[in-house]
Amino acid sequence: MKKGINFLFLLSFTVLLSSCGGNRKASIVPAEKATLSVSAMQDKIKGGWAGQTIGCTYGGPTEFQFKGSMIQDYQPIVWYDDYIRELFESDPGLFDDVYMDLSFIEVLESCGLDAPADSFALSFAHAPYKLWHANQAARYNILNGIMPPASGYWMNNPHADDIDFQIESDFAGMMSPGLINTAAEICDRTGHITNYGDGWYGGVFMAGMYATAFYSDDLDFIIEQGLKPIPEKSKFYQSISDVIKWHKQYPSDWKQCWFEFQKKHTSEKGCPEGVFNSFNIDASVNAAYVVIGLLYGNKDFYKTMDIACRCGEDSDCNPATAGGILGVILGYNKIPAYWKPAVEKVQDMKFPYSDITLNQVYALSYKHAIEQINKNGGEVKNDSITLKIQKPETLKFEQSFEGMYPTKQLLVRKDYLDESIKIDFNGNGIVVLGNVKSQCGVAKSDFVALLDVYIDGAKVEQLKMPYDYIVRKYDIYHKYMLKNGDHKLEIKWVNQNPDFRITEKAYVVYADSPLKEFTPGNDSKK
């Protein structure tokens, strides 16, 4: 039993008699309450934020360098005491895992625990930091009048199943000790700003594990509780369930578990950058790598981060999440001393793109956690904090890209000025990838390209494409759920400017049924 923590019937064991042959098995039932000291609570919150920051930095150099491949054991991953401080200054965009959380925390501090989704949405949409994928698509939506939850809905956001909210939901779990349903409700207000379906479930799952880590150090139980709110028929639930199954089958071989997962679950249909190549930013895939790290790391801080990182793909975000959850389980005091100097050198520095420091984040998360505990039937008395543990409730089922199957990608890599983008395609949807490019090498400009979009000869909308990287449109155009068949897409640039070009990188075509097998003739340019 950990010093400073007194678990009240933390795990009740109910012995169930099997109806066959009198065999017996124990079923773990979570307690209704648990207590811990003020110092233990503060230590866990500090451990969570420090673990996340360490993990993000540890995996930073390998992010998306290993796509569809694990990072081999012989490849060194560097660490030294000035590492975090140097990256704070030289590569602040690396820490999107954390600075989005901090935006949400600042909104909670200024607007209260019941802050509405719009307050969170407007805060991050107008923030000066860099964003990608579902976050940037949602930012563009919000700045152009599409507010949550529509901003994260898959029909409006081609990246709805991406990892974005999964790496930003840490704050919701750390302010909800034992309160898994409360954490899920916070995730509803914040996660649907950017994501939907599996992309949202990823954040709920992580927040649920954080919430559970305050009163249990049993990794199997923490993962099980975190998964309970997720509908069983979702791809996300099935992905994590299979990792749990393969861990039991191969308890000492994380690579075999990784191989089994790759074979079954890594087919991408959401993010248009990944459906026809090895780039995979899907929440369910990267969440599986977090769970592999946690299970095979077996509460060893280094091994947990290292395995989550070596699974590849988003290999900074995944050790960040695994390190954060384990940081709550262990508490900061039990994170090995080797990792601490790098964190302690930056604890009083303002976090990139933020007005608050890590030391201030520790205090704010503790404050919000105490407010939630008091609000939800717990008690804070002298040096004792009593948690009222919530029984997980299953969330509504959501599924992105239903009835949409990627059937073709064409790499274009063409710049446009005087001519239109014209694409003939057969299917029920299309995503055109690209951006506005400067011909003058300017780093900053308020130029906004206006694009008229025609489908089958009829004008359907006018798009705004800012050159400014912070407020850019992440993809040129997307349209889903057309009637399956032949279509003509034309995109006309109506305010042409010789100092800029519209760059079409590629396009992805969807249909209402998958291609079962490639055969010659299916690669026509239609």
CA distance 356 to 358: 7
Reduce the secondary structure of 287-355 to three states and give it as a string: HHHHHHHHHHHCCCHHHHHHHHHHCCCCCCHHHHHHHHHHHHHHCHHHCCHHHHHHHHCCCCCECCCCC
Q: Would you state the torsion angle of the CA atoms of residues 461, 473, 150, 371, taken in this order, to the nearest 10 degrees?
A: -160
Do strands 485-493 and 500-511 pair parallel, antiparallel, or not at all (unpaired)? Answer: unpaired
Percent of the chain with pLDDT over 70: 92
First to last CA, the chain: 66
Q: Read off the pLDDT of each residue in 47-66 and give the average, rounded to a whole number.
A: 94
pLDDT of residue 295: 98
CA distance 173 to 365: 10
Nearest CA to 340 out of 78, 2, 84, 40 is that of: 84
pTM score, two decimals?
0.93
DSSP 60: G
pLDDT tens-place string over residues 69-128: 999 999 999 999 999 999 988 888 788 778 888 999 999 999 999 999 999 999 999 999
CA distance 322 to 291: 8
Percent of the chain with pLDDT over 90: 85
Residue 282 amino acid letter: D
- What one-character-per-residue DSSP string does 493-514 give? ESS--TTEEEEEEEEEEEESS-
Q: Are 410 and 512 in contact (CB under 8 A)?
A: no
- What domains sit in the chain, N to C, each tagged with a CATH number? 12-20+23-36+57-388 (1.10.4080.10), 405-511 (2.60.120.260)
Would you state the structure tokens that stand for residue 276, as one six-digit string? Answer: 């026809």
pLDDT tens-place string over residues 204-213: 999 999 999 9
350: confidence class by pLDDT, cuts 50, 70, 90: confident
pLDDT tens-place string over residues 126-181: 999 999 999 999 999 999 999 999 999 999 999 999 999 999 999 999 999 999 99
Nearest CA to 58 out of 305, 271, 257, 401 is that of: 305
- Whether the bond into 61 is cis, omega within 30 of 0: no
Which residues neighbour 488 within 8 Å (Cβ) at sequence distance 6 or greater? 422, 423, 424, 454, 455, 456, 457
Tell me how crowded residue 188 is: count the other CB atoms within 10 A of its CB: 18
Q: Are 423 and 430 in contact (CB under 8 A)?
A: yes
